[in-house]
Structure 1
Amino acid sequence: MWPLTALLLLVPSSGQAATLEKPILSLHPPWTTIFKGERVTLRCDGYHPLLLELRPISTLWYLGHLLLPSHKKSIEVQTPGVYRCQTRGAPVSDPIHLSVSNDWLILQVPYAAVFEGEPLVLRCRGWYDKPVYKLHYYHEGRAVRYFHASANYSVPQARAGDSGRYQCSGTMRLPVESAPMFSAKVAVTVQELFPAPVLTVTGRAEARGGVAVRCETRLHPHRRDTPLQFAFYKYSRPVRRFDWGAEYTVPEPEVDELESYWCEAATATRSVRKRSPWLQLAGRGSALPSASSTAQAPRAAALAPGGQPLSFRKPPVSRSAPSVTSVPNATSPGLQGPAGRAPTARPPACALPAPSEPPAGALKPDVDLLLQEMQLLKGLLSRVVLELKEPPAFPEPRATLQTPAPRFAASPGAPETTAVES
C-alpha cells in the first residue's frame, strides 16, 4: 500500500490546475476528409494527472455538444462532425472538423493550421485508392498543376496568397478510363505567422549617444516560440544585418534623418521575411525625448516674454534748440533743411508682444508708461509750437555762403533710440 505522503504528491494543486493549457488534438492520418467506411484515430495530448487510486484520469471526448462514452487518450472514429477533447483542470481543445464523402474523388487537406513559411500539401485521392490519371489541381477555379498520374500538390513555403478554395479533377479506369471527375471544393487558410513590423523610437541612448529605435512585431500565439531575426536599413543601405536584437541605435549625427530608416523581421531560415514602413514621426522632434522640445521654450520666451512693458522709439532731440524733425507738416520758409532736403518725419514706433492675452498684473504698468510717453510728447509739441510762433533771427549774411550749424537741420545720422524702463 502506498504511503499517504506519496499519494498526496500525485494530486495537482489548484494553482497548477488553473495554469494548465488546453490539450492538443491530433488526427491520424492527417486528412480532414475520408471515404465512407474508413476510420481515423484521434489523440488527445495534454496533462493527465493521477487519482489517489493511481488510475489515469478520464479524458472527455465531445462530438459537437454530445459527450462520447470513451475516456481513453486515443479513439477511432468514422462519423463526420466536430471533435474536441478535454483533460482534468484544462480547457477544451481546439476542434477538428471531420468530413466523410461518398464521391469517386476527394481532395484531402491537412487538419492542422498551416502558417506562413510552412509546407502546404494537398492530396487528390480516388475511391479505394484507385490511381487517378490526367490529374489537375485548381486554386480559385484556375489550374495550378498537372500530373499524368496520382501525385500530391505541394507548396514548399506557403504564403497568404495561397489561401482560398482548392479542387482537383482526373480520370480513373473502372475498368476502362472514365470521363473527367471533379472533387468537392475545400477551403484552405494560411495563417499569418507575424504581421509586418513597425519601427518606433524608444528614447535616447545616453551611454552610446544617438536615438534608440525598435523593430516591433508579434508572433501568432500558436507559434510564439518561433525565433525571429531583425535587420535595419537607411534608405536601401543596411546599417545592421540580421541578428537576434530587435533594437538599434541611430548615431547622433544622423538623428535628423530618422525618417529615412526602416527595419525587417524574418525567421531564421528566411522562409518568412517582412519589412516595416519608413519610420513615421508625428512632427519635427516629437518622437525624440522631451529635451529637444523643452529647448524651444526659452527661445519663445525671449521673443515674446509675458508681461514685458511696451518700448518706444523716439526721434532725436537737440540739446540747444528743439528739433523740428518731429513735425511732419512744417512748411515755414525759415525751417528749410540743408540743400533743400525736406525734414523727415519719424512718428514714434512701438514693438508689441506676441498676440496673446497679457497677464492680469501687467496691464496697469503698461498704461502708466503710456501716459508718461504722452506727457513727454505733449511737452515736445508745445516747444515746437512756440518755436513756430517766434522763429529766431537768422545770422548776418557773410561773404561765403555756408550752411549754418545744424541748429534747425535734421541730423543725417541714425536716430537715437531711447528705451523706456519700468
Structure 2
Amino acid sequence: MAGTVALVLWAQTLGLAGAQTTQLLVQPPWTPPVLWDRVTLTCQGSGTAAATTWHKDGQRWRLQGPDRFVVTESGTYQCDRPSTGLSPPVNVSNAWLVLQVPARALLEGDTVTLRCRGWQNKPVTSVSFYREEKQLQLFRDGTELSLSPLRLHHSGRYRCRGWVYSEVSGGWIEPESAPVTVTVHVPVANATISPGALAQPVRAGDPVTLRCSVQVGSAPVTFTWLRNGNEVARGPLLELGDVHVGHSGTYQCVATNQLGQDGHRVFRALSPELALTVTPRAHWDTVSPAVAAGVGGSLLFLVLLLGVIVGWHRWHRLAARKHQERAPPEPPPAPEEGEVLYSLVGSTRNAGGSPHATSPQVTYAELPGPHGRQQDPSDIYENVL
C-alpha cells in the first residue's frame, strides 16, 4: 500500500458504521466465479440463516433455504434477508474464456493479478489484454496480467482474448471474455472536524454545528461521532442546536469505509480531539433580542412620557406666574356707611411751592350719618378715642 496514505485500521474496536447490507460471498474468491471451480456461495446479513431466500436469474429460486450452497448451474445469483434486503448479484460463468479479478476490495498499493482462463481449464495461447478497448499487452504463452502496485488510474473495464482448443468443433477458436470492472479503492485517512477551533468558551444558547470530512477515502464512507469516547450520533454533520452545559466535552469523529464483499477490510480514521466548553449565560444574556428590544422601547417611552409631564408642569407654573404679574390690582372695597376714611399724605409743598418730604399727615373725611346728616366732629373724635 502506498506510504503516502495514512490510515487507522481497527478490527474490533468499534462496530461497523452505517446501515448493514446483505452480501453474497464467493469461494474461491474470484470474480466472476466459474462453474468448474465448484463455487460455494454464502449469504451474509442480519437474521437467522434459515430465513435466507435465494434468487436465480431474477426469479425466486429457493424459499427459506440454508445460507450457503455449492453451485451446480451457471447463472446470476442473489440472496435475500428479511432485515437487510437483497444482495448484489453474482454471475457464475461457464463461458469459453473468462477474465477473473480477485473478489475483494482492491486497494491502492496492492499487488493485483488478472488471469485469463479457458473453459474447463483448457490451455489458452496468444492472450491479449484490453482496457477500455485499448490493447495493453500480448502474451504468447502467459495468461496473467499484473497491475502491481495498484494505482487509481488502473480502474476501468478489462477483457481478454485468446486461442482455445474446442473439442466440439475439433479445432482452435478465438473467443473473447466478458468485460470485468476493476475498481481501485482508497482507505479513509486524515479525518478532520470543522470548525477546528471554537470560541472559548461557547455560551449556552449558541447554535453549534460540526462537520466531519476526510482528505482521502473511497465511497461509501460513513461517520460516527464520539463525545468523551462514547457514540452520540452518526452522519457527516453533528448539529447540537442551542447548546447547554451538558454538551461540554471532548468530541471526535470516526470515518469508516467498509471495502469488499467479505466485509473484513474495514478502515477507520479518527479525527483529532475537539474540546467544547459551554458556560451558562448571565441573566440579561438569556433575554432574547426581541424581548430586549421590547423592554428597551418601553423604557424609552416611559422616559419620554415623564419628560412631557415635567415640561407641562413647568410650563403651567410659568404661565400662571406671568398671568398673576400682568393682572391689575383689585380696587379697595368701598367704605361702609358711618366709617371714617383715613389716608396718609406723604408729601406737602414748601413755601416755594415745590413738594418736599414731610411727615405723614392725617386727612379726615366726614361721612354722612345714618339719616343723611353730618356728624359732629366731636362724635368722630369720640369714636376714634
TM-score bracket relative to the smaller structure: 0.3 to 0.5
The structure whose Rg is larger is: 2
Return the structure number with greater strand share. Answer: 2
TM-score scaled by length of structure 1: 0.37
